Amino acid sequence: MPDGLVRSASLSIDGPVILVHGGAWDIPNTATEDHRDGLKTAVAAGRRSLESGESAVDVAADVVAAMESHGAFDAGRGAMLNQDGRAQLDAGIMDGSSLDYGSVMAVERLADPIRVARRLMDAGEGQVRILAGEGAERFAVAEGFTLIDNDELISERERERFEALRGQVDDVHTSQSFLPGVTNRRSGGGHDTVGCVVRDENGHVAAATSTGGTPFKPAGRVGDSPLPGSGFYADGEAAVSCTGWGEAIAAVVLAHDVVRRILDHGDLESAVTSRLRAMHDRIRNPHGEGARGGLIALSESAVGWAYTTPRMARAIWAPGPGTVHLQLS
């Protein structure tokens, strides 16, 4: 696919809707079945909670939690491993009505980090909204979550990917060629983060994103996914969840950039394409390639997506017959 080409689409939907993504990258044919199944499972979970009257933010948490436990994605169980061979997870969620958000980052012992991030939103006005590492895990325990062993998050697929990447470098800590964006390139461009945006029947919107980060990232590295404004954002009627090269997404604060554009100019598809292209044109990796990624978005009356990668896994559901769309290309 030509460097810089943005693929995008939008649909007019002004009632309740769930839009899910399972990462934007060069998804191999061997993984498409699993991705489809993961998207279906996520949509089914979201649909159940939307139909039982849950708010947008609770539906978003249910959708992302379903993907974290599915195993097909770089989130929760099945997350990519860091240079220490451990799964280190990041997740964030935001309510567009109140601007409340919650995030956890670099956690190693939580099965559903998005649920802990969701719980942080309930801490009360003016309270802590972002917790990292052991502090986040302590908060989770205090809130009744059970800590798991890091091994329970590690799949055979990711153990093998880790071993293959480890074999490619002599000194992982000093090699500049293993900066996260470059690692993605060598390993086939894995951007397998998950996310969703939801509009409920009251017109409230929410965004949520969860990831294991980039393959073979240094321990402690945090990308865009748990940063409000970068990997996710929701304000008023607009919501966005991103995936892709986290260092670039954070540099342009992509989710907020797109939400602002939607709120100021109204046209969802031009907002998603223009901001993704702007990131591509502004941020280059050491090989001179523009930053790649993908995102899903909601405006007052539309849903849409855009990506600069070969594929993006995504699905939409809205009430009424025949409204589930699953797409990988």
Binding residues for ligand ASP (CB under 6 A): 23, 74, 191-193, 211, 213-214, 223-225, 243-244, 246, 249
How far apart are the C-alpha atoms of 247 and 55, rounded to whole Å? 31
Residues with catalytic roles: 193
The secondary element (H helix, E strand) that includes residue 7 is: strand 7-12
Shortest distance, position 244 Cβ to ligand ASP, whole Å: 5
150 or 243: whose CB is closer to ligand ASP? 243
| β-pair type (130-132, 194-199) | unpaired
Q: How far is the CB of 309 from ligand ASP (least distance, A)?
A: 10
Nearer of residues 133 and 266 to ligand ASP, judged by Cβ: 133
The CB-of-294 to ligand ASP minimum distance in angstroms stands at 8
Minimum Å gap between C-beta 272 and ligand ASP is 16
In the chain, the amino acid numbered 40 is K
13/89 with CB nearer ligand ASP: 89
Our CB check for ligand ASP shows the closer of 13 and 165 to be: 165
What contacts 232, CB < 8 A, 6 or more positions away?
A: 92, 93, 94, 101, 195, 207, 208, 209, 225, 239, 240, 241, 242, 255
Task: Quickly list H helices, 5-147.
Answer: 29-51, 56-70, 113-121, 133-142
**CB closer to ligand ASP, 24 vs 61:** 24
Q: Helix 56-70 vs helix 113-121: angle between axes, to the nearest 10 degrees?
A: 160
- Shortest distance in whole angstroms from residue 60 CB to ligand ASP: 17
Place of tokens 């990796």: 285
Q: In sequence order, what are the beta bridge partners of 94? A: 101, 207
d(CA 303, CA 144): 36
Q: Compare residues 18 and 250 and give the one whose CB is closer to ligand ASP.
A: 250
Distance CA 17, CA 205 (A): 9
**Could you give the 3-state DSSP secondary structure of residue 54?**
coil
The least distance separating ligand ASP from the CB of residue 86, rounded to whole angstroms, comes to 15
Instruction: Kindly write down the DSSP assignment for every residue of 185-253, as one continuous string.
Output: HHTT-----EEEEEE-TTS-EEEEEEE--STTPPTT---STTSBTTTEEEETTEEEEEEE-HHHHHHHT
What minimum distance in Å lies between the beta carbon of 113 and ligand ASP?
Answer: 13
Q: Which is nearer to ligand ASP, 59 or 248 (CB)?
A: 248
Q: Is 67 helix (H, G, I), strand (E, B) or coil?
A: helix
Q: Which residue has the tokens 């919107």?
A: 205
